[in-house]
C-alpha cells in the first residue's frame, strides 16, 4: 500500500490563540513577539498584520515601521504549549505515527489507520472540524502521497484550508512553473544562489539537475528529488534524544558590560537547562557558551565534561568558558549541553560513586540562589517554578539588569 500522509498546520497559531481568548483582538493587526521599543523579532502575527507586510522572524523595529497601529504582545508559551497538547491529542487519534514539527504543526501517517485515500480525506476533514469545534481554532490540512507533497498541500489554501495531492504527477503538475522556493527546503539564501545561476523555477531544477547538485551538494540532490516529486521518507516520531543539544539563551534590551552580572545570568540559564534536560531524562557530555557582542558578532565556545545535567556543573563550565573570551559589550548570552545521551547509557565518573555529591550540589545551588536573591532583592526560593517559564525568566533578568 502506498503511503498516505497528512500535514496539519495551525493558522497564525499564537495570534489565533490570543484572539480566541480575547475577542476584542479579532480583525486587528496583532503582532506576537517583542514590543516595539525592545530588541527582538516577530514570532507570528495575525493575517491582518500580514497585509502590512509583517511576517515571522522580522525585526520588531521593521514590523513597527510597517504597522505602527498594530497591537504588540509578548508570547505566552505556557498557554501555547497547553493548547498544543490538546491539538496533538485530537490529531493523533487518526494516525499510526505522528511526527511533531512544532507546537502547531505535525505530519500524520494514516496509511494503516485509513487504508484508503477516501477515508484519509475524511480524517483530514474531521481534524479540521474537531479543531474548530473543540478548540475554536482553525488549521490547514494537506493530504498527499509524501511528506513534501503533504506540506505543499497544507500551504495551498491557507488559512483554514484543505487540499489533496494524490500522486507524484499531480504534485509536479502543480508546482512545475512556480519559483524554486515553493519547495520547502529552499530558503531565501538557497533561492538566491539558484537564481544567480539562472535556476528560477521548479522546471529549471528538473532541466538542470547536475547544476543544482554542483551548486548545493547533498542538499541539491534532495531538492532535485523534490522537484521530481520523489520523497519516500517515513513519518518518524520525534524523540528527545535525537536533539543535538539542550540550551537556553537571552537577548538583553541594552548591551551588558558587567561580566559579574553575566555570570549571574549564566547561573539562571544553567538551572533552566537542567530543568529541560531532567524533563526528558537526558545528560550532556559537553557544555557550550554562546555570546553575541554589541557589533552582532557571535562566538560559541565549548568543552567536554563528565556526563551531567547538573546546573552547578553547567554553570561552572560556562563561567570558565566566559573567562576565556574577550570582554566587550554583550547583546546575547546562552549556555547548554551537547553530546546528549539517556540515563541508561550514562557513563559514570568517579564523582558519581560518591553518595553525597547530589546533596552537595543541591546545597550549593540553594546557597547561590540565596546570594542572587539578596543581591537583587528577589525571592527566588518561592518563585523558582514560575521564573523558568520563558517570558518570566526574560523579565526577571531584565529586572536584575536594571537593579544590579
192 lies in the same domain as 250: no
Give the per-residue pLDDT at 12: 93
Helices (H), 136-187: 147-156, 168-175
Q: Is the domain of 287 the same as that of 385?
A: yes
Q: Both 285 and 182 in a single domain?
A: no
Residue 152 lies in a domain: no
Q: With CA atoms as reference, report the closest residue to 172 among 186, 142, 152, 194.
A: 152
Query: CB 21: neighbour CB atoms within 10 A?
Result: 12
Report pLDDT for 390.
63
- From CA 184, how far away is CA 142, in angstroms rounded? 14
Q: Are residues 211 and 261 in the same domain?
A: no
Q: Is 317 a catalytic residue?
A: no
Q: Cell 533561492: give the residue.
A: 191
Which CATH number do you get for residue 244? 3.30.1490.100
By three-state DSSP, how is residue 385 classified?
helix
Measured CA to CA, the distance from residue 67 to residue 71 in angstroms comes to 9
Q: What three-state secondary structure class fits 198?
A: coil
Q: Per-residue confidence of the chain (404 residues) as pLDDT tens digits?
A: 689 999 999 999 999 999 999 999 999 999 999 999 988 899 999 999 999 999 998 999 999 999 999 999 999 888 999 999 999 999 999 999 999 988 999 999 999 999 999 999 999 999 999 999 999 999 999 999 999 999 999 999 999 999 999 999 999 999 999 999 999 899 989 999 999 999 999 999 999 999 999 999 999 999 999 999 999 999 998 766 667 899 999 999 899 999 999 999 999 999 999 988 888 888 999 999 999 999 999 999 999 988 889 999 999 999 999 999 999 999 999 999 998 887 534 444 444 433 344 677 778 888 888 898 889 988 877 767 777 766 788 888 888 988 87
- On whether residue 110 sits in a domain, the answer given is no
Assigned domain for 134 exists: no
Cα distance between residue 253 and residue 36, in whole Å: 12
What distance in Å separates the CA atoms of residue 43 and residue 31, rounded to the nearest whole number? 8
Q: Residue 300 pairs with which residues in a beta bridge?
A: 290
Same domain assignment for residues 269 and 379: yes
Q: Give the residue from 276, 398, 330 showing the smallest Cα distance to 322.
A: 330
300 and 347 in a single domain? The answer is: yes
Check residue 109 and give its pLDDT: 97
Q: Let me know whether 258 and 391 are in one domain.
A: yes
Distance (Å, whole) CA 29 – CA 15: 10
Same-domain pairing of 245 and 334: yes
Co-location of 286 and 210 in the same domain:
no
The domain of 72 spans 14-77
The 10 Å Cβ neighbour count of residue 385 is: 9
d(CA 388, CA 385): 6
Between CA 290 and CA 248 the distance in angstroms is 10
Query: Does the residue 163 lie in any domain?
Result: no
- b or e along 46-73 (b: 16 or more beta carbons within 10 Å of the residue's beta carbon)? bebbbebebebebebeebbebbeebbbb
143 found inside a domain: no
For 45, the grid coordinates are: 502575527
Q: Identify whether 253 is part of a domain.
A: yes
Q: What share of the chain is helix, strand, coil (3-state, %, to 5)?
A: 50, 20, 25
Q: Say if residue 250 is in the same domain as residue 344.
A: yes
Rounded Cα distance, 193 and 2, in Å: 35
**Are 298 and 396 contained in the same domain?**
yes
Q: Would 7 be classed as within a structural domain?
A: no
- Burial of residue 180, with CB atoms counted within 10 A of its CB: 0-12 exposed, 13-18 middle, 19 or more buried: buried
Place of cell 504534485: 171
CATH number of the CATH domain containing 65: 3.40.1170.60
Report the pLDDT value the prediction gives residue 242, as an integer from 0 to 100: 67
Number of domains making up the chain:
3
Phi, psi (deg, nearest 5) at residue 253: -70, -25
The pLDDT of residue 289: 97
pTM of the predicted protein model: 0.76
User: Do 216 and 193 contact (CB within 8 A), yes or no?
Assistant: yes
Residue 244 lies in a domain: yes
Among the listed residues 48, 105, 274, 317, the single catalytic one is: 105
262 and 202, same structural domain? no
Of 124, 146, 107, residue with least CA distance to 3: 146
**Residue 196 is part of a domain; what is its CATH number?**
1.10.150.20
The dihedrals phi and psi of 296, each to the nearest 5 degrees, come to: 75, 5
Amino acid at each position: 500500500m502506498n503511503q498516505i500522509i497528512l500535514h496539519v498546520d495551525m493558522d497564525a497559531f499564537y495570534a489565533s490563540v490570543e484572539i480566541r481568548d480575547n475577542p476584542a483582538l479579532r480583525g486587528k493587526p496583532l503582532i506576537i513577539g517583542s514590543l516595539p521599543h525592545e530588541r527582538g523579532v516577530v514570532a507570528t502575527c495575525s493575517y491582518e498584520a500580514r497585509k502590512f507586510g509583517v511576517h515571522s522572524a522580522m525585526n520588531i523595529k521593521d514590523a513597527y515601521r510597517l504597522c505602527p497601529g498594530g497591537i504588540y504582545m509578548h508570547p505566552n508559551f505556557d498557554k501555547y504549549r497547553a493548547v498544543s497538547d490538546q491539538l496533538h491529542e485530537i490529531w493523533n487519534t487518526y494516525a499510526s505515527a505522528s511526527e511533531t514539527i512544532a507546537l502547531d504543526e505535525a505530519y500524520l501517517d494514516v496509511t494503516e489507520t485509513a487504508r484508503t485515500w477516501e477515508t484519509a480525506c475524511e480524517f483530514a476533514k474531521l481534524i479540521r472540524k474537531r479543531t474548530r469545534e473543540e478548540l475554536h481554532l482553525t488549521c490547514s490540512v494537506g493530504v498527499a502521497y509524501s511528506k513534501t507533497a503533504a506540506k505543499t498541500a497544507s500551504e495551498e489554501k491557507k488559512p483554514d484550508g484543505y487540499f489533496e495531492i494524490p500522486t507524484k504527477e499531480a504534485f509536479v503538475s502543480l508546482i512545475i512553473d512556480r519559483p524554486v522556493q515553493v519547495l520547502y527546503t529552499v530558503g531565501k539564501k538557497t533561492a538566491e544562489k539558484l537564481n544567480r545561476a539562472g535556476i528560477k523555477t521548479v522546471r529549471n531544477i528538473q532541466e538542470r539537475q547536475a547544476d543544482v547538485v554542483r551548486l548545493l551538494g547533498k542538499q541539491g540532490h534532495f531538492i532535485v528529488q523534490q522537484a521530481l516529486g520523489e520523497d519516500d521518507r517515513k513519518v518518524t516520531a520525534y524523540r528527545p534524544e535525537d536533539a543535538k543539544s539542550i540550551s537556553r539563551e537571552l537577548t538583553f534590551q541594552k548591551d551588558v558590560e558587567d561580566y559579574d552580572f553575566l555570570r549571574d545570568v549564566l547561573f539562571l540559564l544553567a538551572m533552566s537547562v537542567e530543568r529541560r534536560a531532567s524533563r526528558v531524562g537526558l545528560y550532556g557530555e559537553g557544555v557550550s557558551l554562546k555570546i553575541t557582542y554589541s557589533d552582532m558578532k557571535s562566538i560559541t565556545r565549548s568543552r567536554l565534561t563528565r556526563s551531567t545535567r547538573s546546573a552547578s556543573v553547567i554553570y561552572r563550565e560556562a563561567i570558565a568558558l566566559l573567562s576565556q573570551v574577550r570582554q566587550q559589550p554583550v547583546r546575547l548570552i546562552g549556555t547548554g549541553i551537547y553530546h546528549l545521551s539517556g540515563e541508561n547509557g550514562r557513563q559514570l565518573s568517579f564523582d558519581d560513586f560518591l553518595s553525597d555529591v547530589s546533596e552537595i550540589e543541591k546545597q550549593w545551588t540553594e546557597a547561590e540562589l540565596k546570594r542572587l536573591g539578596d543581591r537583587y532583592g528577589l525571592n527566588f526560593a518561592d518563585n523558582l517554578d514560575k521564573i523558568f517559564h520563558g517570558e518570566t525568566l526574560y523579565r526577571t533578568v531584565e529586572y536584575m539588569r536594571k537593579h544590579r
